[in-house]
């Protein structure tokens, strides 16, 4: 019996090729889009779920004042925190993050600057990262061990076995480590990433970066009670006298980028608004695809009504007819699973590159995802067609008729709903792109053209560690020897530094030169005006030098900027922006002093000038308070502005200088304009997703409209023949056939406009600077979709109108 159903289904596919192709295309396009988006959304929503005890992990944070932003703190080093003092805790671990370019690995003649973490021996007892090679229980207790990922090991050692290899690690210290473990790369749903892991139990003080303490709670843990216990542990430290200490759940960090300063421990963050938008797009694609597939199945059923009636006369009951229909659907479903699984594998690398997430599901997971999506889509789509078949008296189908007018009204409603959703997506995509272009073209208040940021020098490590004294009786002589070695390297670097600066300032390709921090990468610290009753708040600071103003073309509104010979590096002077002056209600900046809680809470910093506001953060917010301080470290980034027509020449010159002072190292740089564009990566991704999936939704709707037009045109062949015999022209017949379809599209456009306007108005409220909801956006979407609909329908109606009426009136 099953064999009969399969043969019958294949015969039906052959006799209705257009409907079969349209149904298959609808399922494949819709399900593939949903599967890809689902994979990304699922990866985001399951962030860090591979840690078995994720819900029991918390990070200790400190808040210097009620108005300041909470931040991660190394409570172990600063406050002497020990988890063993708290019975509700099972364990704890400390993590310090080293971004790329902050720690160097040297093997042979090659130097690498990977990102990594420095952890204590409890790291693998709190977090469930996998070790591919090595003893997970003891490896981090070995102070000479280093763990590397397989990817980084191949980059550093090539085809050589990395285990047992010695590498020189340089940061604020310099030491030799031995590769004793291969750690698996962090999964795609990990918020903590690394190329290497170093232990620091033996000499934690040589790692001078701030870290974070993560605690592992047991079943007796009560967050509120525990926070009361640790609330004042920081106050014993002179820099944290009025601060409060508490904890935040590890699971809450990923979607709270702006709420907590995590010290770089969390490498990437999610955006709940983006996730909600993607889920909405998935639902729209699902509904459009289901409606289109439903319409196609109604048409398919209508073309086979007589066949169904004949089967009934020959003894088939409704259950068998429904089974026959289900077999057709199952075959279509199976073929779709194969096609979209192949398509998923082909498109996934491109999708991963676009989303910057390395999603890599197994073949079985791909099949499960695609099968599940297709099953949901088909089940939704078949509700109406199967209900129609079950309700209709099949023997009446022997008469020359088709579905009734009320059933066709349902089909028209489906088409209107399809196009309404498509219009909303299309209008939204145009507005998202318009907003993105507005932000990228917005005058930020500083120059970004032809400016690169590059590191030409690194801090010279002091070649001494506590364990060096173990083998030397005379510590003083040994220290002097190491100090002389350090001074020699420092003098050599200072000589190279002066040489590089002289070369850069005299080269014709370079317009301006400065050192400091990019305007886009400030760091927060607690500041207040020296005034009774003021509280410290977390405000942004960037380090600059006296040429910073020229490079970025900043406008001084009051006072002056830093000046060579007048201001000393690391002095007690700052420049603030207008937002800071307004925030602290400073009337006369020359009579006001600023205090920093960590650096100086007595004498204060003199304000020497006020700079006009510029947008150094995402344009979702107005300029916030900003301070500038003159630092004089050689290892700070060089900020180089090239002449307009000499960018490539300048880059080659800077690279040649880098290679002279940093042999065997890789020259790297970023253009400030690219860094600005990166700020809007989320919007760029969203706009691209909107455009791509709107086109696909439009294509799916066009497939449905094409098939409906084909069916309706074939159904009215004799009517067209009679009209032509009576003198109707081709244009008149095309107008008659097209007007119904165009009417559905126009109705959909009218319905979609207010919905799209409201939705995009709410979305634009997230931005301080927003584009306008111009009328032409809606008009453009309407005209574009109308043209697509006309092209889709007219191809069929033109063929029907041109057909010889003798052929159409001939008896079957």
C-alpha closest to that of 452 among 643, 308, 285: 643
Q: Using CA atoms, how far apart are residues 237 and 292, in angstroms rounded to an integer?
A: 67
CA atoms within 13 A on the CB side of 591: 4
State phi, psi for 216 to the nearest 5 degrees. Answer: -110, 115
Q: Using CA atoms, how far apart are residues 41 and 280, in angstroms rounded to an integer?
A: 11
Distance (Å) of CA 104 to CA 113, 148, 174, 407, 560: 5, 13, 9, 72, 39
Q: Using CA atoms, how far apart are residues 685 and 679, in angstroms rounded to an integer?
A: 12
Q: Which two tokens stand for residue 564?
A: 């060579």
Tens digit of each residue's pLDDT (9 = 90 or more) over 482-537: 778 888 888 888 999 999 999 999 999 999 999 999 999 898 888 989 876 778 88
Instruction: Report the helix count and the strand count for the chain, using DSSP H and E.
Output: 21, 24
- The confidence score (pLDDT) of residue 745 equals 85
- Element at 630 (helix H, strand E): strand 626-630
pTM for the model: 0.81
Determine which of 136-140, 684-688, 780-784 has the lowest per-residue pLDDT on average.
684-688
Coil, helix or strand at residue 632 = coil
Q: Using CA atoms, how far apart are residues 173 and 367, in angstroms rounded to an integer?
A: 50
Coil, helix or strand at residue 683 = helix
**Cα dihedral across residues 474, 479, 480, 481: positive or negative:** positive
- The confidence score (pLDDT) of residue 4 equals 64
Q: Which residue has the higher pLDDT, 291 or 177?
A: 177
Q: What is the percent of the chain where pLDDT is above 90?
A: 36
Q: Which residues pair with 573 in a beta bridge?
A: 606
Q: Give mean pLDDT, residues 183-196.
A: 93
Residue 179 has pLDDT above 80, yes or no: yes
- The confidence score (pLDDT) of residue 404 equals 45
- The confidence score (pLDDT) of residue 386 equals 66
Residue 706 has pLDDT above 80, yes or no: no
Q: Using CA atoms, how far apart are residues 73 and 245, in angstroms rounded to an integer?
A: 9
Q: Using CA atoms, how far apart are residues 427 and 698, in angstroms rounded to an integer?
A: 12
- The confidence score (pLDDT) of residue 545 equals 93
Q: Using CA atoms, how far apart are residues 455 and 22, in angstroms rounded to an integer?
A: 57
CA atoms within 13 A on the CB side of 51: 22
C-alpha closest to that of 484 among 457, 506, 463: 463
- Banded model confidence at residue 6, pLDDT cuts 50, 70, 90: confident
C-alpha closest to that of 493 among 459, 454, 453: 459
Spatial neighbors of 703 by CB under 8 A, at least 6 apart, are 22, 25, 26, 292
**Cα dihedral across residues 507, 513, 518, 523: positive or negative:** positive
State phi, psi for 626 to the nearest 5 degrees. Answer: -145, 140
Q: Using CA atoms, how far apart are residues 463 and 609, in angstroms rounded to an integer?
A: 41
Q: Give mean pLDDT, residues 390-400.
A: 53
Pairing, β 131-133 against β 145-149: unpaired
Q: Using CA atoms, how far apart are residues 144 and 93, in angstroms rounded to an integer?
A: 19
Q: Which residues pair with 119 in a beta bridge?
A: 95, 199
């Amino acid at each position: 019996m099953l064999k009969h159903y399969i043969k019958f289904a294949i015969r039906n596919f052959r006799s209705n090729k257009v409907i079969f192709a349209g149904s298959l295309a609808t399922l494949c396009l819709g399900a593939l889009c949903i599967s890809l988006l689902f994979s990304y959304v699922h990866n985001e929503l399951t962030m860090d779920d591979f840690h078995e005890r994720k819900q029991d992990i918390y990070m200790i944070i400190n808040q210097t004042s009620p108005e300041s932003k909470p931040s991660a703190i190394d409570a172990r080093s600063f406050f002497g925190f020990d988890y063993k003092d708290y019975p509700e805790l099972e364990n704890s671990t400390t993590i310090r993050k080293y971004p790329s370019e902050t720690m160097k690995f040297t093997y042979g003649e090659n130097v690498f600057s990977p990102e990594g973490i420095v952890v204590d021996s409890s790291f693998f007892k709190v977090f469930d990262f996998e070790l591919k090679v090595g003893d997970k229980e003891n490896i981090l207790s070995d102070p000479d061990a280093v763990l590397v990922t397989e990817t980084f090991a191949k980059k550093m050692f090539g085809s050589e076995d990395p285990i047992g290899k010695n590498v020189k690690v340089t940061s604020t210290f310099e030491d030799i480590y031995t590769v004793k473990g291969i750690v698996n790369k962090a999964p795609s749903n990990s918020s903590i990433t690394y190329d290497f892991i170093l232990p620091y139990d033996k000499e934690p003080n040589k790692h001078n970066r701030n870290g974070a303490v993560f605690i592992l709670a047991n079943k007796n843990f009560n967050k509120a009670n525990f926070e009361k216990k640790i609330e004042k542990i920081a106050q014993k430290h002179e820099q944290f006298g009025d601060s409060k200490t508490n904890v935040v759940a590890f699971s809450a960090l990923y979607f709270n980028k702006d709420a907590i300063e995590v010290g770089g421990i969390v490498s990437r963050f999610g955006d709940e608004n983006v996730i909600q938008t993607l889920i909405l797009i998935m639902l729209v694609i699902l509904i459009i695809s289901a409606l289109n597939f439903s319409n196609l199945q109604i048409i398919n059923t209508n073309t086979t009504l007589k066949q169904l009636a004949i089967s009934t006369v020959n003894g088939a009951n409704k259950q068998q007819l429904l089974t026959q229909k289900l077999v057709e659907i199952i075959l279509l479903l199976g073929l779709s699973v194969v096609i979209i699984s192949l398509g998923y594998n082909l498109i996934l690398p491109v999708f991963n590159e676009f989303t910057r997430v390395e999603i890599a599901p197994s073949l079985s997971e791909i099949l499960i995802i695609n099968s599940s999506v297709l099953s949901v889509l088909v089940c939704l789509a078949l509700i109406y067609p199967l209900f129609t078949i079950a309700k209709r008296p099949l023997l009446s189908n022997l008469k020359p008729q088709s579905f009734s007018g009320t059933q066709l009204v349902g089909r028209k409603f489906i088409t209107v709903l399809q196009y309404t959703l498509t219009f909303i997506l299309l209008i939204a995509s145009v507005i998202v792109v318009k907003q993105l272009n507005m932000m990228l073209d917005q005058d930020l208040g500083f120059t970004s053209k032809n400016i690169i940021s590059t590191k030409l020098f690194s801090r010279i490590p002091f070649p001494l560690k506590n364990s060096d004294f173990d083998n030397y009786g005379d510590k003083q002589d040994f220290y002097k020897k190491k100090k002389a070695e350090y001074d020699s390297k420092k003098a050599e670097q200072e000589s190279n530094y002066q040489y590089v600066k002289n070369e850069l300032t005299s080269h014709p390709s370079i317009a301006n030169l400065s050192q400091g921090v990019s305007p886009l990468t400030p760091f927060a610290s607690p500041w207040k005006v020296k005034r009774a009753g003021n509280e410290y708040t977390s405000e942004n600071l960037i380090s600059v030098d006296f040429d910073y103003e020229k490079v970025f073309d900043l406008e001084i509104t009051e006072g002056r900027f830093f000046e060579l010979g007048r201001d000393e590096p690391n002095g007690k002077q700052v420049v603030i922006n207008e937002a800071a002056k307004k925030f602290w209600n400073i009337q006369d900046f020359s009579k006001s002093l600023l205090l920093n809680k960590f650096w100086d809470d007595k004498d204060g910093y003199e304000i020497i000038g006020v700079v006009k506001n510029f947008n150094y953060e995402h344009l979702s917010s107005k300029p916030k308070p900003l301070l500038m301080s003159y630092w004089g470290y050689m290892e700070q980034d060089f900020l180089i502005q090239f002449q307009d027509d000499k960018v490539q020449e300048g880059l080659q010159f800077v690279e040649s200088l880098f290679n002279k002072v940093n042999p065997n190292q890789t020259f790297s740089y970023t253009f400030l304009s690219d860094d600005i564009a990166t700020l809007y990566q989320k919007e760029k991704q969203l706009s691209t997703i909107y455009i791509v999936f709107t086109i696909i939704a439009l294509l799916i709707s066009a497939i449905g409209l094409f098939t409906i037009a084909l069916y309706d045109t074939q159904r009215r062949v004799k009517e067209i023949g009679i009209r032509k015999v009576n003198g109707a022209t081709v244009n008149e017949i095309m107008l008659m056939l097209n007007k119904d379809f165009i009417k559905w599209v126009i109705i959909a456009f009218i319905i979609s406009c207010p919905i799209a306007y409201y939705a995009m108005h709410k979305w634009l409220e997230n931005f301080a600077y927003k584009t306008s909801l111009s009328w032409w956006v809606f008009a453009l979407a309407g005209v574009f979709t109308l043209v697509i609909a006309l092209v889709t329908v007219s191809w069929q109606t033109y063929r029907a109108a041109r057909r010889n009426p003798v052929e159409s009136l001939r008896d079957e």
